[in-house]
Amino acid sequence: MKFLQWCYKHRIILIIDIICLLLVWVCTLRFHALEKSAVTQQEGHRWAEDGKPYHQVSAFFPTSDGVTRETISGYRANLQRTLLDASFDDSDVTGKLWTDAYAALSTDSVTKTTQMGTVGKENVRILGVGGDFFLFHPVNLLSGSTFSDHTANGDLVLIDREIAWTLYGSTDIAGQKIYLAGRPFVVSGVYEAEQDKLGLKASDGKSYLMMDYDTFHEIYKEDPIYSYEAVLPNPVKNFALNALQDAVGGENATAVLVDNEDRFKPKSLLARFADIQTLMMHTSPVVFPFWENRIRGLEWQLFCILVLRFFLFLTPLVSSIFALVCFIRQKGARMWHDFWARQKEKLRRRLYERPVKPKVGIEDEDF
């Protein structure tokens, strides 16, 4: 009864605490939902389904490095050598111990020739992709399919919904022809670009066309590879990241390196945003691809949710401490007095109420 009376007396504080705890739960759900939406950062988890630890690591290069496919071949050889030196073998069930992907960027116009003339879309971002790019970056296909390094024809391209509607007024156009830099290409498929706010800001509202890197390099020789990603075994902390750093040049590498697996953990977020002033400064010549820019925006959202969750949880925590202090002040003196009274009583009984033991002596003899 006294407890209910106490709850009624402090009902406003209790209601606020309950609301804060519910908001903490909502923030936690939102945090995990945003974390799961970062599909491009989760290839390491997908490879680690057999229980072996894998990490997805990325390297972003400045254009001055002039990275080409031959450079990527050198990186691959270095990574393979590092794994062999660490006693790894190719015994994975997929037949591959690790995988990678890379991309280069340019800008051009895409056109289609009709009886009425030429229809086109300008300022289209052209991505030349290689390796298992669509394994790292799965797309939401509306029609058709993707392509790979093993595709026989290098004239296949993947376009987004906006390009498809501009040229053909439909998304079901797999197999149709478009022209890029005066060359004909066949539409392999149409995909839906990310339409959330972060995705639109990261891509600057531009359309993206993807093609095989070899064909891309034939047309846009001056545009180097600016992104390289790999999924590597990570038996000990930072093994995958250190292996990538050694592969791309060691401590003298100009690339920006990222371990994608741990970047959303609270400890990593707090460490990253500990010095926001320095973080806001852009001192690197690296231009990040749109998917990395989106993830960096997502990191900021997750950090804000983490801080909000902390302050929301702080309110019921302070209330609990305050209630405990009040309880000790009201009941503590009485409990302390009773405790010492019991101890004194035990001591008194031990000293003054000991049972009298009978004396053992020689019995009187009868004379």
Q: What pLDDT, in 10s, does the model give residues 302-340?
A: 999 999 999 988 888 888 888 777 777 666 666 666 777
Is residue 195 located within the same domain as residue 325?
A: no
Identify the pLDDT of residue 358: 60
- Strand-pair category, 140-144 with 54-60: unpaired
Identify the pLDDT of residue 367: 40
Q: For all residues of the chain together, what is the average pLDDT?
A: 83
On whether residue 269 sits in a domain, the answer given is yes
Tens digits of residue pLDDT in 180-232? 988 899 999 999 988 778 888 888 888 899 999 999 999 998 899 999 999 99
Q: 253: alpha, beta or left, given left = phi > 0 and alpha = psi -120 to 50?
A: beta
Is residue 8 located within the same domain as residue 156?
A: no
**What separation in angstroms does the CA of 157 have from each of 28, 130, 139, 213?**
40, 13, 13, 11
| Residues 246, 248, 250, 251, CA torsion sign | negative
Is residue 19 located within the same domain as residue 83?
A: no
- What b-and-e string marks burial along 219-240, b requiring 16 or more CB atoms within 10 Å of the CB? bbeebbbbbbbbbbbbeeeebb
Whole-angstrom Cα distance, residue 147 to residue 168?
Answer: 21
Is residue 24 located within the same domain as residue 116?
A: no
Greater confidence, 262 or 76? 76
Pick from 223, 228, 217, 224: nearest CA to 60: 228
Does the pLDDT value for residue 268 go beyond 70? yes
Token readout for 178 is: 């478009």
- What b-and-e string marks burial along 117-136, b requiring 16 or more CB atoms within 10 Å of the CB? eeebbeebbbbbbbbbbbbb
Is residue 47 located within the same domain as residue 12?
A: no
Whole-angstrom Cα distance, residue 125 to residue 116?
Answer: 26
- In this prediction, residues 105-127 reach a mean pLDDT of 83
Confidence of residue 261 (pLDDT cuts 50, 70, 90): confident
On whether residue 357 sits in a domain, the answer given is no
- Position 117: which residue type? G
Identify the pLDDT of residue 315: 84
Identify the pLDDT of residue 253: 77
In this structure, the chain runs to a length of 367
Whole-angstrom Cα distance, residue 153 to residue 147?
Answer: 9
What residue has token string 């009040």?
326
Global pTM value = 0.79
Is residue 101 located within the same domain as residue 247?
A: yes
Tens digits of residue pLDDT in 62-96? 988 888 999 999 999 999 998 888 877 655 445 67
Q: Which domain holds residue 24?
A: 2-35+306-351
Is residue 185 located within the same domain as residue 333?
A: no
Is residue 273 located within the same domain as residue 332?
A: no
Greater confidence, 118 or 256? 256
Which of these ranges, 108-122, 198-212, 251-265, has the smallest mean pLDDT? 108-122
Is residue 218 located within the same domain as residue 343?
A: no
As for how many domains the chain has, the answer is 2
Pick from 174, 288, 182: nearest CA to 226: 288
On whether residue 83 sits in a domain, the answer given is yes
Token readout for 186 is: 């066949």
